[in-house]
Structure 1
Amino acid sequence: MQGTRYHWNELGSDFAAFLFKTLPLALMIVNDATKVEVINEAAQDIFNISNEDAYLQKGGDILKCINADTPEGCGGCIACKKCILRKSVLEAFNGKVVSRNKGTFHVIHQGEIKVLTLLVTASPIYYEKNTMVIVIAEDISLITQLQGMIPICSVCHRIHDEKGEWMALEKYLMNHSEAELTHDICPVCSEQMRLKHALSK
């Protein structure tokens, strides 16, 4: 099958719109009022919001950040000064390309406050004499759940989880990360088993 060779300057607006819509990364276009003009399908899935509902909303409103649900609104309270999403967008409007800045957000999900961890990339774009910012938001919450002080029994090595229950280490890891565990045996235990087997003869 003969491929089609495209040059970037030949790609039409229809193809660019198709790419934006279908890329499997959460994308947002932000205007100079730091409000979202459009989001793609991946962003709609991650943040559980339609493109229509996201239109002219601020980032915190789309994420359902708890700081956006204050009288000051998104960008208005003290905590917003440290917001990675906000800082990345503002830096991009100053001409910088911000690559994969890690930020943690407390968001409302199904009536509960959850921790959302994102890698934020932001870059200025220029369209019809307007400067806007394209934002890529990568959800790495599952990868970064294991952090902070985690109590572990010094005898049986069970983990004391956030619900107050003690569970096996491997179960805890599988519940709190994307890791898949398989059983193996280390050289020290292998030698101990060999010696124990030899002594039992």
Structure 2
Amino acid sequence: MKNQFYNKIGINPIIAAVNSMEKLDLAIQSPCEIIFLLCGNIFNLKEIIHKVKENDMDIYVHIDLMEGFSKDSMALKYIHENLQPDGIITTKSSLVKKAKNMNIFTIQRLFMLDSLSLHTGISSIQSTRPDAVEIMPGIMPKVIKKVYEDTHIPVIGGGLISDKEDVIESLKAGAVGISTSKEEVWHM
């Protein structure tokens, strides 16, 4: 799973973040290789994952945002074994640890609000060792660089990415990719 993620992000570092069902088909039709699913529920998640995969794209499910699932190891196991996304995204360190124990590709999403959240986030990454980290907002090149230098975990810049300059600056700072819900950025 790790190599698959890194190969796809190497082909196209822009990840389509789908935050509404209306955007799913647009993301599938985009040149992106990876979708971060930020919406969905217990009734439609299987269909969404199948649709994305039949279009040769990878899908990573933000487990915290899926309606109808508890945030525990049984939900992780069910999603992994029965729905089979390529991995999960979560803000919860406890879920990162549980997912890693199940060999699920895990992206830990961290919100960087101030120096305390940066310090706490780096400590969390060093403790949980996710497969990748998504830093939000992704328009902070210095923070992206520091997180990567301190953890050596691949970093994705996400949130507030709105144009080509944001993409370039994040990638120059060391991000392996960027995630955005902006459709125009998907086609860069």
Between structure 1 and structure 2, the one with the greater Rg is 1
More strand by percentage: 1
Say which structure, 1 or 2, has more relative contact order (CA 8 Å, 6+ apart): 2
More helix by percentage: 2
TM-score normalized by the length of structure 2? 0.26
TM-score normalized by the length of structure 1? 0.25
